Amino acid sequence: GAVVSQHPSRVICKSGTSVKIECRSLDFQATTMFWYRQFPKQSLMLMATSNEGSKATYEQGVEKDKFLINHASLTLSTLTVTSAHPEDSSFYICSARTGQIDSYNEQFFGPGTRLTVL
Partner 1 sequence: DAKTTQPNSMESNEEEPVHLPCNHSTISGTDYIHWYRQLPSQGPEYVIHGLTSNVNNRMASLAIAEDRKSSTLILHRATLRDAAVYYCIPLSNQAGTALIFGKGTTLSVSS
Q: Which residues of 30-44 are buried (b: 16+ CB within 10 A; e: fewer)?
A: bebbbbbbeeeeeee
Give me the 64-93 binding string for partner 1, x by CB under 8 A, dash otherwise.
---------------------------x-x
Shortest Cβ distance from residue 58 to partner 1 (Å)?
Answer: 12
Could you tell me which residues are beta bridge partners of residue 22? 7, 78
Which one of residues 39, 100, 116, 118 is an interface residue with partner 1 (CB under 8 A)? 100
Shortest Cβ distance from residue 78 to partner 1 (Å)?
Answer: 17
Binding site for partner 1 (CB under 8 A): 1, 4, 31-32, 34, 36, 43-46, 49, 51, 91, 93, 95, 97-100, 104-112, 114
